[in-house]
Structure 1
Amino acid sequence: MTVNDDSFTNWKNREEIAESMIPIIGKLHRERDVTVLLHSRSLVNKSVVSILKTHRFARQIAGEELSVTETLPFLQALTALDLGPSQIDIGMLAATYKSDDRGLSVAEFTAEAVAGATGANKLEGGAGRDVVLYGFGRIGRLVARLLIEKAGSGNGLRLRAIVVRGGGEADLVKRASLLRRDSIHGQFQGTITVDEESSTIFANGNAIKVIYASDPSEVDYTAYGIKDAILIDNTGKWRDREGLSKHLRPGIDKVVLTAPGKGDVPNIVHGVNHDTIKPDEQILSCASCTTNAIVPPLKAMDDEYGVLRGHVETVHSFTNDQNLLDNYHKADRRGRSAPLNMVITETGAASAVAKALPDLKAPITGSSIRVPVPDVSIAILSLRLGRETSREEVLDYLREVSLHSPLKRQIDFTTAPDAVSMDFVGSRHASIVDAGATKVDGDNAILYLWYDNEFGYSCQVIRVVQHVSGVEYPTYPAPAV
C-alpha cells in the first residue's frame, strides 16, 4: 500500500468516527440541553467534514492537530453520566487528560471533570425565557438564527416575536426570505415556512409572531402570550435610558440594545464585565462590535503587562448607515459611495472602553476607516505596555488566553500565514489575534485583531442575553482563572 493509500484510508476511518459522533452530540443537545464544544467551537448540528475541520483547526492554537480518535472516548463517557444543562468542551477534556498523571480511566477523568453538571449538582432545565426582537435588520436576523439554533431542548431562550414596521404587500414573505438566505452568511440551516394569515414565521419548528408597529407604545406583548421577555432592540433608534424605557411594556422585563448605550446605560462586553450587571437592571447595552473586539484583548494585555496608553485604528467593513452611491448624509464623508471608497470616520469604541474596563486608567484613542468589503473588520491595537517584553512571549501568552482563560470564548488565535478577512466570516469569537501580523518592540506592542462585525458581535449579544436570562449554562472543564 502506498503512502497516498494510507492517507486516504486514515481519512475514511476518521470520517466514520466523526459520523458516529453526530447522533451522540445531537441526543445530548436535544434531551439534556448539553452543548458539546471543541476548543470553544460548538459541534452541534455540524457535518462530518465540519467536525473534522474543527479538530484540525486545533493545531492553530494548540500547536498540533486533534484527532477524533482522541475525543470520541470522552464523548462516549458523557453519555453514561447524569448530565444537566451545560457546555462541555471535549477538546479541553482531551488536552487536560494528557497532562494528568494519576492513571485515571477516560470515564473516571470525565466524570470528575464535569462533576458540577451531574447528579445533585446539575442545573434543572426551566420553562425557558421569551425573547422579542425589535427590528429585523442585519444584526436582528443573525441573532434570530442563533436563537433558533440554540433552542435545543426548548428549555433555554425562545424567540417568540419580532416587531417591524409594515412594509406593504408580501412583507412577511420577504422578511422570511431574508432570514432564509444571506449573501454573506449563506443559507439558513433548516426549514422556514410562512403563515400569512396568522402573521407567523415557522423556523425549525419555532413559531415566531411578526408584529407590525411603528412605535413601542403600540404593542401589548401579553396579547400574544409573551411574558417576562427580554427585548433586543436592533434598531439603534433609542440609545439612552429614557428612550429604551419605552420598550418596558406589558410582557417585557428587560431591554438589551445592540449598539453603544448613552448616559447611564451599562455597556456590557461579555467575558469582561457581564458579571457587573445588577439583577434588577432592566436596560443595558452590548456596546459596539469594535468595542467587543478590542476590550477582551486589551484586558488580557493589561492583566499581564499593564497598559499605559493605547490607540485603536479600525479598518471596518461598510454598513447600512452609509450610502450605496453618493448622496446626502448627515455625517461627514459617509454620504460618499461605500462600495467605491475608503471613508475616514469616527469610532466610539475607544471612549466606550472606560465603561467596560473602568479599572483601566490608560488613555485610549481611536479612529476608523470604512472600506469596500461587506463584512469582517480588523482593529489595529497599538499599546504602550508597563514593561518590556518580546513578540514570542506576547504570542505565547495570547495563545494560552485563547485556549484556557475565561476569555477563550471572546479571543481566538490564528497562525495562518495567508489569512485574509473573508476567512473569518462566521467566526463566533469577539476577535481573532493574527499572530503573523503582531509587532512587539520593547514596551510597544501592536496587535492585529480580526472580527466578524456582524456574526461575532451577534454571538456576544446572545451571550449577554443568556446571562441576564439565567440560562447561561456553565462550561466544563472550567477555564483557568
Structure 2
Amino acid sequence: MKKIAIYGFGRIGRQLLRIALDRDLFVPQAIADVKAVKTLGALFSVDTNYGRWPGTVDTSATGFLLNGNEIAYVDSSNGIPDWNKLGVDLVVDCSGRATKRAGAQAHLDQGAKYVLVSAPSKSLEDCDAVLLKGINLEQFDPASHHIISMGSCTTNALAVPIRVIKEAFGIEYGLFSTVHSYTNSQSLTDQPMADIRDSWAAAENIIPSSSGAAKALQFIWSDLRVTGKAYRVPTRTGSIAELNLITTKSCTVADVNEAFRKAATGPELKGVLDVLEDQWTSARIVADPHSSIIDLNLTAKQGDLLSVATWYDNEWGFSNRLAEVAQYLAARI
C-alpha cells in the first residue's frame, strides 16, 4: 500500500485516525496541522463525543507514538509540507480548505500523487471525481483521478437511499431537509460571523443553513433533480435527513422498506447502509459506522409523494467511509 498523510487534525482528521488504527486499515506516514502536537495528542486521546481511545498516546517534538506506531508530525502553519520528501503518495485533506482546485492542487505541487478531499468540492471543475463507497467508488481511474472529493456526511447519507430508490422505482424530483448537529463553522456565543445565521449561539438555537449535498449528488447523477437545506440543532453529533420524492414507478411503503432491507444485506451496500425496525432517537446512532441508517417506521406515502428518513452520525459514519476510501485508493495507485 502507498503511503498516506492526514492534513488537518480536527474533528474528522482525528476520527479518521482512530478508525484507521482500530480497524487496521492503515497507519499514516505523517499528520500535518497548525496546532501544538501535545494538544493534538490530548484531543486524540480523549474525545467528548466518542470517549477515551483505548490505546497508548505519546507525543514528542517530531510526532506521535500511538500504540507503538510512530507517525511524523509536520507543522503546516507556514504552508503545505514537502510531501515528496516525506514519501507521501496520498494526502487526505481534512482541513476544509481544499474545496477549490487550487487548494487541492497545492498538495500535488508539493509532491503528493493524489488528494482525497473530505468535503464537497465547489464545482466539478474543482476535482477530478466525486467518489463514494457503495455508490461509484469502482469508477476510480488512477490515470485521471488525482483530486477526489468524498462529498459531505450528508452527501453520503443521502446518496444511499437515492441509489436504492432510483434503481428500484426511479426518481422524478424531490426535496430534502437535514436536521444536523452543530459544527465548528458556528459560534459558541452570539457574535458576528460571515454567515449571519451562524452569528447566534450554536448550542442554544435551531439555525437554518445551506447544504452542499445537493450539488455533490448532481456531480454523481447529472440528471438528478433533488435539492434541499439543513437545520443545525444543539446536539453534539448525530443527524437525520428527510428525503421527499416523486418516484417514476408506483410504490408502497412496504415496497420501499423491503427494498431498503434487501439493499442493506447486499454486497454493494453492506456496512454502508443499515435499517432500523424499532423506534429510536439520535442517541441510538452515535458512533454507528454506517453512512445511512433508514428509519423504516418513518417511511410514509401521501398520494404520489414518498418520504423516507435516514439517520447518520455526521462525524463517525463519514470518517469510516473516508478511512475505507483512503485505503482503497492507496491500494490502487
Secondary structure, aligned partner of 2:133: coil
Match of 2:104 in 1: 244
Once residues 78 and 114 of structure 2 are traced to their aligned partners in structure 1, the CA distance between those partners, rounded to angstroms, is 17
Shift of 1:228: 4.4
Report matched runs for 1:65-464 at 5 Å.
128-151=1-24, 157-165=26-34, 167=35, 171-196=36-61, 199-217=62-80, 219-223=81-85, 226-263=86-123, 264=125, 265=127, 266-280=129-143, 281-358=145-222, 361-417=223-279, 419-464=280-325
**Bigger RCO of structures 1 and 2 (CA < 8 A, at least 6 apart):** 2
Shift of 1:434: 0.3
Structure 1 unaligned regions, length at least 5:
1-127, 473-481
Once residues 231 and 110 of structure 2 are traced to their aligned partners in structure 1, the CA distance between those partners, rounded to angstroms, is 42
Shift of 1:242: 2.1
User: Deviations along 1:153-176, whole A, 9 cap, x unmatched?
Assistant: xxx6321211111x4xxx222111
- Count the aligned residue pairs: 329
8 Å CA contact retained: 1:216, 1:246: no
Secondary structure, aligned partner of 2:179: strand
Q: 1:394 to 1:236 in 2, by over 3 A?
A: same
Secondary structure, aligned partner of 2:219: helix
Shift of 1:468: 1.4
8 Å CA contact retained: 2:217, 2:224: no
Structure 2 unaligned regions, length at least 5:
none
Secondary structure, aligned partner of 1:412: strand
Q: 1:384 to 1:141 in 2, by over 3 A?
A: same
Q: 1:424 to 1:253 in 2, by over 3 A?
A: same
Shift of 1:257: 0.8
Match of 1:109 in 2: none
Shift of 1:189: 2.4
Once residues 302 and 249 of structure 2 are traced to their aligned partners in structure 1, the CA distance between those partners, rounded to angstroms, is 11
Name the structure where helix makes up a greater proportion of residues: 1
Scaled by the length of structure 1, what TM-score is found? 0.66
Moved over 3 A (4+): none
User: Deviations along 1:427-457, whole A, 9 cap, x unmatched?
Assistant: 1111100011111245321111000000100
8 Å CA contact retained: 1:139, 1:454: yes
Structure 1 or 2, whichever has the larger Rg, is 1
RMSD: 1.7
Scaled by the length of structure 2, what TM-score is found? 0.94
Shift of 1:150: 3.0
User: Deviations along 1:337-394, whole A, 9 cap, x unmatched?
Assistant: 0000000111121122111223xx2411201111111101000000111122211121
8 Å CA contact retained: 2:19, 2:323: yes
User: Kindly, what percent of the aligned residue pairs are identical?
Assistant: 29
Once residues 184 and 247 of structure 2 are traced to their aligned partners in structure 1, the CA distance between those partners, rounded to angstroms, is 37
Secondary structure, aligned partner of 2:192: coil
8 Å CA contact retained: 2:244, 2:305: yes
Q: 1:451 to 1:379 in 2, by over 3 A?
A: same
Shift of 1:332: 2.5
